Chain A
Amino acid sequence: MAEVLVLVEHADGEPKKVTAELLTLARSLGEASAVFLGAPGTYAKAKDYLAQYGASTVYVVESEDVSDYVVAPVAEVLAKLVTDKAPAAVLTAATPDAREAAARTAAKTGSGLIWDAVGLTPELAATQGIFGGSTIVTSKVTKGTPIFAVRPNTTTPEAAPTTPVEEKVDITISDSARSAKILDRVVEAKSGRPDLTEAQIVVSGGRGLGAAEHFALVEKLADTLGAAVGASRAATDAGWYPHQNQVGQTGKTVSPQLYIAVGISGAIQHRAGMQTSKTIVAINKDPEAPIFEFADYGIVGDLFNVVPQLTDAVEKHKA
């Protein structure tokens, strides 16, 4: 069976859930080969996870040359593997770093690239929801080795334990790929909440909250549900919540199992970032708010009453 390369998404060696999703997807297309690139000593933390989700082979580069420079070294390794191993396809997560690596790999190998794929057939036809999910497109790569940046949360991970063959990739990262040096990594918000794009549940707040401090209501509900916190553009524009939490046309695109919109009207700008969520719950005092046209469950009411009550009820249910 043809090999399908999967770029492992991880934080200091701890694999992210999307890695299991990509390995599961890769196994439906051929033989899954994981590509692990990280700082020295990080692979040990990923090893069991990659075996658990069915990687037949793991290509490993553990070096500061790949961890301390922006993206270019990752593309160099992937391009070498594309040339040496002639895989049927390359899968990466559609996260900012990985999609940049996917794009550079496509450029290096003269390949076509499809980003934000939400499904892939064994014939490598990719499904994408474009224009904020309003149009469903099926497309195929017509040049080189097909490269797909796959959106997190679109495949259900299935374990398939293996004993992977490990292969250290024999590569010297070029000087030009080591030109954008990472001097420091600064952690600002250690919320303990899941990543917005990976979360199963997202609770977002909007204009209806009225002030930055009222985001505490949204955070409390999110923490009760184990959810990530999002914000509408109106809320981030007002400076009530950090810009990186913005969900919408010019922010992040999420497709969780459950999306709870608190005080968000649901204009197209926001809808474009969340309408592929499995279940949408909306709380808004305006019965005419567009969000009620596509919510699965809507409560017309004062969020300052509804949200704390919902939080309490969820807590009680869980207890």
Chain B
Amino acid sequence: MNIVVTVKQVPDTWAEKKLDPATGTTDRKSVDNVMNEMDEYGVEEALKIKEAHGGEVTVVTMGPEKALETVRKALSMGADKAVHITDEALAGSDALQTSAALAKVISTLSPDIVITATEASDARGGVMGALLAERLGFPQLTQARKVTVDPGAGTVRIERQADNGYALVEASTPVVVGVVEKINQPRYPSFKGIMAAKKKPLTTLSVADAGLAADTVGLANAGSTVADAKPAPPRQSGTIVKDEGDGGTKAAEFLAAQKLI
């Protein structure tokens, strides 16, 4: 199995995030950046499939030089090699542009399975799996909470999460799998893994190296533009009461007064 897994470096979810007023894009400089938490589930799933069926796991990311920290984390978890698409010209690319760039590079890797997380915690689009499937022309197996690979039949079966249960979905490889949080328990990189990661092959591609047209990437060619951004008016704290044995009754009175019940 030739497995590709995408990862993204994002601002830490415990930090207050802001937009860069100059570009209307996420300010990635003023905060700690980490691997998108959900991507850890993607990397883990890739490693599990490799361990069960053999093969190789390639990590692909797009982002500034700093994003290498996230690539190294995936390599230290056990991925075999990595491709880092990085270029000043890519800054400000939207999800549609990013999916086109990733798909272009991924298609050169001839994968059987492309794994991506359902969403990144910064933009929360939840569309990358669908977009990669569209761009690559692969079946879309997204929102997966369980993945079963049958290498003999060349099929992948998933449980696609729904609000009230799941759909059982099957497709023939090559496929794009989008995993949800909690599909597995991501491993921690071991000391050995961290040491080994430093020697693993890393390919760095510029826009030109990746064969992308310069007039399609970056903020200037994005499909939408931010006209205005401002902090939401802060929520004011309301009435806080200490329960004197009638707290529940008082809360119901509040709800009734607000015509909420």
Interface residues of A (CB under 8 A from B): 70-72, 75, 96, 99-104, 106-108, 111-116, 125, 129-131, 133-144, 176, 179-191, 195-196, 201, 225, 236, 243-244, 249-251, 253, 257-258, 267-269, 272, 275, 279-281, 283, 287, 292-302, 305-314, 316-318
A308-B227 CB under 8 A given contacts A182-B169, A302-B243: no
Kindly identify which residue among A107, A184, A283 contacts B134, using a CB–CB cutoff of 8 Å.
Answer: A107
Given contacts A72-B133, A112-B222, A135-B18, 15 further A-B contacts (CB under 8 A): A72-B140, A100-B126, A101-B130, A103-B130, A104-B134, A107-B134, A113-B223, A135-B17, A135-B232, A136-B232, A137-B229, A140-B227, A188-B165, A196-B163, A300-B240
Q: Kindly list chain A residues whose C-beta atoms are within 8 Å of the C-beta of B163.
A: 195-196, 244
B135, CB-defined interface residue at 8 Å: yes
User: Given known contacts A305-B243, A313-B249, A317-B256, is B17 in contact with A134 (CB within 8 Å)?
Assistant: yes
- CA gap between A299 and B123 in the complex, in Å: 34
Task: Mark B217-261 against chain A: 1 for CB-CB distance below 8 A, else 0.
Answer: 000001111111111101111111111011111111111101011
Complex Cα gap A244–B126 (Å): 15
B137 touches A176 (CB 8 A): yes
Closest CB in chain A relative to B47 CB, distance in Å: 21
CA distance A135 to B229 in the complex (A): 7
Q: Is the interface of B mostly helix, strand, loop or mixed?
A: mixed
By a CB distance below 8 angstroms, the chain B residues around A179 are 138-140, 171-172
Which chain A residue has the least Cβ–Cβ distance from B163?
A: A195
State whether A180 touches B171 (Cβ < 8 A). yes
Chain B residues within 8 Å of A244, by CB = 161, 163
Are A135 and B165 interface neighbours, CB within 8 A? no
Interface flag for B129 (CB, 8 Å) = yes
A309 to B247 alpha-carbon distance, docked (Å): 8
Residue contact A115 to B243, C-beta cutoff 8 Å: no
Cβ-based interface call for B167 (8 A): yes
Q: A182-B167, A196-B163 are in contact. Are A100 and B142 (CB under 8 A)?
A: yes
Of the candidates A75, A100, A102, A189, which one forms a contact with B129 in the assembled complex, judged by CB atoms under 8 Å apart?
A100
Interface residue ranges of B140-181 to A (CB < 8 Å): 140-143, 157, 159-172, 175, 180-181
Q: Find out whether the CB atom of A72 lies under 8 angstroms from the CB atom of B226.
A: no
B207 within 8 A of A: no
Q: Is B24 an interface residue (CB 8 A)?
A: yes
Rounded to whole angstroms, the CA-CA distance of A241 and B228 in the bound complex is 39
> Given A71-B140, A317-B261, is A308 in contact with B168 using a C-beta cutoff of 8 Å?
no
**CB-based nearest A residue for B229:** A137
Give residues in B with beta carbon < 8 Å to A: 13-14, 16-19, 24, 37-38, 94-96, 99-100, 118, 121-127, 129-131, 133-135, 137-143, 157, 159-172, 175, 180-182, 222-232, 234-243, 245-256, 258, 260-261
Q: Contact between B130 and A298 (Cβ–Cβ < 8 Å)?
A: no
Q: Select B247's contact among A108, A305, A316, beta carbons within 8 Å.
A: A305
Inter-subunit contact A243/B181 (CB<8 Å): yes
When the two chains form their complex, are residues B251 and A281 in contact, meaning their CB atoms are under 8 A apart?
yes
- Minimum CB–CB distance for B29 against chain A, Å: 16
Contacts of A70 in B (CB 8 A): 139-142, 160, 167, 169
Using known A-B contacts A258-B255, A295-B238, determine if residue A107 contacts B222 with beta carbons closer than 8 Å. Answer: no
Can you give 6 contacting A-B residue pairs, CB < 8 Å? Answer: A70-B140, A106-B96, A133-B232, A137-B228, A292-B240, A307-B248
B249 near A183: Cβ-Cβ < 8 Å: no
Smallest distance from the beta carbon of A212 to chain B beta carbons, Å? Answer: 16
Q: In the complex, what's the smallest C-beta–C-beta distance from A250 to chain B, in angstroms? A: 6
A258 surroundings in chain B (CB, below 8 A): 255, 260
Q: How far is the CA of A180 from the CA of B143 in the complex (A)?
A: 13
Query: How far, in angstroms, from A197 to B139 measured CA to CA in the complex?
Result: 27
